[in-house]
Amino acid sequence: MKKTILSLAAAAAVLSLGTMGAQAATKACYIYVGPIGDFGWSYQHHQGALEMQKNLGEENVELAYLESVPEGADAERAIERFARSGCNIIFTTSFGYMDPTNKVAGKFPDVKFEHATGYKREHPNVATYNSRFYEGRYVQGIIAAKMSKAGVAGYIASFPIPEVVMGINAFVLGAQSVNPDFKVKVVWANTWFDPGKEADAAKALIDQGVDIITQHTDSTAPMQVATERGIKAFGQASDMIKFGPETQLTSIVDDWGPYYIERVKAVIDGTWKQHDVWGGMKEGHVVMAPYTNMPDDVKKLAEETEAKIKSGEFNPFTGPINRQDGSEWLKDGEVAEDGVLLGMNFYVQGVDDQLPK
């Protein structure tokens, strides 16, 4: 479903046809995995894009986007179409766009590519960017262990990719730092976005006795189910407090605006360079929604942990941490390397689930 911003596209067409040689605006293009109305992952990226355009001025930046682009072969076509249509910079905002992005980037050396959450930069015109969401998930784990009476939380996961595995690990490490016996039940929805299925997964988990729900899928449906069943839950990607005023404990809010402003501005100024940025709480990429529906002592503990992570005093992946099979991963005091985290394909000890391969 192509929905460019029509007026802008029309204006650009008139410009390029009518006034030859006039300075064309910089065109920033976005590929989203879900609809921009998901109120989750894609919604937040789009909010960031809009903020960027507003900040840099509509006369300077033309915005185009494609939503609900499936990962895989379709993505390559979509990216290539953007590259051909005169985009100066293309943001591909899902892990599954990694290979297509690099492939198209090889064919269009003059176009800048920015791939979110990936680790491959095969050409000088590909940059990668990500946020350290695991920092937020560690804090959520602590809250979950404090708040759960059953001692079991339900985790609705999307696909077994490093980003998601890392999140589960951080959540479990956080929870078990408070309660070593804490359990997490993981259900893989095998989709980023299907409100009905996400709701069903939440119902299944609650029927099996969990009393906290957290999700790594993109819709607000699990929050609503938790509200209906009277348990607590964590929001995802955006502040979902409206969907669970008495349910949401906190939410990891993705704030991409500042990054998009910085990068598109670099294209306009001609200073764009390849890089790999992984911002966390410290850089303001990961923001926690207000801590709500919890006693003051839990809130205080969460805030203290957040402050420690923000100041760099503490990293959730600090040893000693063993792998799920009991073998040693990090020695006492050792901090995980970013490269290992970005390719994380194993569970840490204490996760009660088999990682799908």
Say if CB 97 and CB 121 are below 8 A apart: no
- Please report whether residue 354 would count as binding other proteins according to CB under 8 A: yes
Nearer to other proteins, 39 or 272 (CB): 39
177 binds other proteins (CB under 8 A): no
Does residue 37 interact with other proteins by CB under 8 A?
Answer: yes
**93 contacts other proteins (rule: CB under 8 A):** no
Report yes or no: 88 and 243 within 8 Å, Cβ to Cβ: no
9, 178, 204, 340: residue in contact with other proteins (rule CB under 8 A): 204
Closer Cβ to other proteins, 208 or 311, answer by number: 208
- CA distances in angstroms from 348 to 176, 230, 309, 332, listed in the order given: 11, 31, 20, 15
Nearer to other proteins, 39 or 291 (CB): 39
- Return the closest-CA partner of residue 184 out of 24, 331, 343, 350: 350
Give the nearer residue to other proteins in terms of CB position, either 207 or 262.
207
3-state secondary structure of 230: coil
> What size, in residues, is the chain?
357
Among the listed ranges 82-90, 300-308, 339-347, 348-356, the one in contact with other proteins (CB under 8 A) is 348-356
From candidates 186, 309, 336, 344, binder to other proteins by CB under 8 A: 186
Q: Where are the alpha helices (DSSP H) in the chain?
A: 6-18, 41-56, 73-84, 98-107, 133-147, 162-178, 195-207, 221-229, 257-269, 296-311, 338-342
107 binds other proteins (CB under 8 A): no
Rounded Cα distance, 89 and 270, in Å = 12
Min dist CB 333 to other proteins, Å, is 33
Q: Does 243 bind other proteins (CB under 8 A)?
A: yes
- Binders in 216-235 for other proteins, by CB under 8 A: 219-221, 224, 228
State the nearest-atom distance from the C-beta of 156 to other proteins, in Å.
9
Residue 190 binding other proteins, by CB under 8 A: yes
Binding part of the chain for other proteins, among 15-23, 129-137, 184-192, 270-278 by CB under 8 A, reads: 184-192
User: What does the DSSP 8-state code read for residue 348?
Assistant: B
Whether 247 and 241 have beta carbons less than 8 Å apart is answered as no
The residues, any chain, with a CB within 8 Å of residue 131's CB and separated by 6 or more, are 254, 278, 279, 280, 285, 286
Least distance between other proteins and beta carbon 161 (Å): 13
φ and ψ at 181, to 5 degrees?
-95, 5
Residues 121-160, interacting with other proteins (CB under 8 A): 154, 160
Using CB under 8 A, pick the residue from 238, 248, 251, 293 that binds other proteins: 238
Encode burial over 21-38: b for 16+ CB neighbours within 10 A, e otherwise: eeeebbbbbbbbbbbbeb
Judged by phi (left if over 0) then psi (alpha if -120 to 50, else beta), residue 323 lies in: beta
- Interface positions with other proteins (CB under 8 A): 1, 3, 34-39, 43, 67-68, 154, 160, 185-191, 193-201, 203-205, 207-208, 219-221, 224, 228, 238, 242-243, 352-354, 356-357
